[in-house]
Amino acid sequence: MEKSDLHIQSKSLPELPGVYQFYDDEKIIYIGKAKNLKKRVSSYFTKTHESKKTRLLVKSIKKIEKIVVDTEMDALLLENNLIKKYQPKYNILLKDDKSYPWICIVKDPIPDIFYTRKVERRRGEYYGPFTNVYSARFLIKLIKDIYPFLNHELNHMIKKETEDTIKIKFSENIKSIRHLIKGHFKKSIDELKNKMDAFSENLKYEEAQEVKDKLDILYNYQAKSTIVNSKISDIDVFALVTDQTHAYVNYLQISYGAVIRSFTLEIKKRLEEADEEILRLAVVELKQRFHSQSKEVVVPFKVSLPKTLKISVPKSGDKKKLIELSERNAKFYRIDKLKQIKIVDPEAHGIRIMEQAKRDLQLKNQPLQIECFDNSNLMGTNPVASCVVFKNGKPSKKDYRHFKIKNIEGPDDFASMEQVISRRLSRLLKENKPLPNLIIVDGGKGQLSAGLKSIKKLKLEKKVAIIGIAKKLEEIFKPNDKLPLYIDKKSETLKLIQQLRNEAHRFAINFHRDIRSKDALKSGIDDLIGIGPILKEKLLKKYKSFIRLKELDEEELINFLGKARGSSVFNQLRN
């Protein structure tokens, strides 16, 4: 179908909520939901899209299909289910293929409670899913500690309960057991307190003590939970962390002042989806997956969700702290994933960091080869500079270079930087070697301007990008920008720049120290009587510094220089 025909078809769509499906020649390539199908679908063919991926999507569309629904909520749920079913090429991918554990309560023939990954509704009541087996096991142990009649292994050994007594006790306590599984500890605690008070009033102290023991178990379990505010109950908290290729959405379920569930969903981006779009889809998916009945959703920014839900975007207070807690969980999950990728697929890890650096530093290309320059001198003496080279985010030590500054009087960092970058780039051009994609200078605007002057003289400003990093506040300066560029202190891009800067500084300082030591050694040896040019070079090579030479004893000097000359040099050094 021609694009003009598709445009006409989109104009004929109803102004109703629904789900639209884009097809290429063979299959569905994108699924989306809309409050107004006509407006949303038409926008694909009337707007000029900035994203290359979106332009590619529109170019690939050959057919449009729609499903009209009653409400926006229906559209949300249908879109989510269809994306999971068909996994279209251009939709975000919810990366999760696990089967999660559920807790099952069986009434017949004998009441029982256990966890399973296989859900068979006819068998009993199922609660979950739980994020891991440990949390399901722990909850079952808690329930069996409070209601020992469900501990069949123990009952079999001590023969305390019969099938009939188990059924009776189960029927009496089933509501409390359900509350515990759902994380509603307050209801169970209140029920147990009422029982304990009733037993005490009737002077049944042994029964009251048994109930108190159960309360202690519950209090102990609750103390291990992350306590929030007892007034905050039945809310879902979501936070989002993104990079160039993936998004991570953390979900916290809060019940009666405690975090009873935490789960992070990894999402692979297919188009350049907005954070609002990603979070919206994730909220629907996670509420569906974990069967959440909560009517309040706490999120870091406004999200278009059905009106049946109360959306909170807290600016301060306990709910804001919950957002921060959720965000920390998402960040740690991302860090763990990146560490795993670094170990399993270091090449992919390098590509991802290069893409992130390109984005953070607003570069045209990925900085696959970065070179960092630093100057070193002591009150203008022995001025030197260093150049360190990183390729794909890793040091390439064979390409490191030292420079002795020529024809510059006194300490002049700007002139030194201009000279060194000019010499380095001229050499690369002469030898027909690859130029760096990015140059980093250790310093602020002055050093940056000096480096840029060299690049412009060689007419390389379109091929080589340059930035400066100032030490105090770790500010990034770019040419022609009055204000510095601030990058997240914890970002991998800033860590990479800092690593380059520190390596260049170390390399320059070490070179400067070597030159100073050699100069000191040379000047000291020049004053020694009986040491000619050949012996002078041998001493320089063996002892490196004049201080070390002075510390030698007479015997070692005699062994190295002979008896007469060794004794003479020893006496000269001592005097």
Domain boundaries of the chain, sorted by first residue: 3-91, 102-226, 235-341, 359-513, 527-574
Mean pLDDT per 10-residue interval, the chain, length 575 residues: 68 86 88 88 81 83 86 78 83 70 84 84 79 76 80 62 80 82 73 86 86 77 55 86 86 77 85 86 88 90 86 89 88 80 70 84 89 73 82 90 78 83 92 92 87 91 89 82 79 87 85 60 63 74 71 81 81 76
- Distance in Å from the first CA to the final CA of the chain: 99
Give residue 465's pLDDT.
Answer: 92
Distance, CA of 193 to CA of 173 (rounded, Å): 14
Q: Following DSSP, what letter does each residue of 35-74 receive, concatenated? A: SSHHHHHHHHHHS--S-HHHHHHHHH--EEEEEE-SSHHH
Give residue 296's pLDDT.
Answer: 92
Q: What are the distances in angstroms from CA 458 to CA 156, 408, 501?
A: 88, 21, 24
Global pTM value? 0.54
**Residue 442: what are its φ and ψ, rounded to 5°?**
-80, 100
For residue 332 the two structure tokens come to 């740690």
Give residue 108's pLDDT.
Answer: 80
Compute how many other C-beta atoms are within 10 angstroms of the C-beta atom of residue 328.
13
**Residue 151: what are its φ and ψ, rounded to 5°?**
-85, 85
Query: Cβ-count burial of 196 within 10 angstroms (0-12 exposed, 13-18 middle, 19+ buried)?
Result: buried
Distance, CA of 84 to CA of 232 (rounded, Å): 33
One-letter amino acid at 75 equals A
Give residue 538's pLDDT.
Answer: 76
Number of helices (H) and strands (E), helices first, in the chain?
19, 20
Give residue 97's pLDDT.
Answer: 56
Give residue 389's pLDDT.
Answer: 93
To which H or E segment does residue 80 belong? helix 72-86
CATH architecture of the domain 359-513 equals: 2-Layer Sandwich (3.30)
Compute how many other C-beta atoms are within 10 angstroms of the C-beta atom of residue 489.
9
Give residue 380's pLDDT.
Answer: 45
Give residue 429's pLDDT.
Answer: 92
Angle between helices 185-201 and 205-224 (to 10 degrees): 160
The CATH class that applies to domain 235-341 reads: alpha beta
For residue 272 the two structure tokens come to 């350049």
Distance, CA of 131 to CA of 12 (rounded, Å): 45
Contacts of 273 (CB under 8 A, 6+ apart): 92, 247
Asked if the bond preceding 383 is cis, omega within 30° of 0, the reply is no
Distance, CA of 511 to CA of 444 (rounded, Å): 23
Nearest to 135 by CA among 321, 290, 306, 346: 290
Outline where 345-476 has alpha helix (H).
346-360, 413-430, 445-457
Give residue 298's pLDDT.
Answer: 94
Give residue 437's pLDDT.
Answer: 92
Under a CB-based contact definition with an 8 Å cutoff, are residues 353 and 246 in contact? no
Nearest to 361 by CA among 490, 447, 476: 476
**Residue 81: what are its φ and ψ, rounded to 5°?**
-65, -40
Under a CB-based contact definition with an 8 Å cutoff, are residues 396 and 463 in contact? no
Question: Domain 3-91 maps to which CATH number in 3.40.30.10, 3.10.180.10, 3.40.1440.10, 1.20.1600.10?
Answer: 3.40.1440.10
Compute how many other C-beta atoms are within 10 angstroms of the C-beta atom of residue 439.
27
Nearest to 413 by CA among 375, 453, 466, 457: 375
Query: Cβ-count burial of 314 within 10 angstroms (0-12 exposed, 13-18 middle, 19+ buried)?
Result: middle
Instruction: Render pLDDT for 255-286 as a digit per residue (tens, 0 to 9).
Output: 766 677 788 898 888 777 889 989 998 998 89
Distance, CA of 268 to CA of 494 (rounded, Å): 24
**Residue 46: what are its φ and ψ, rounded to 5°?**
-110, -25
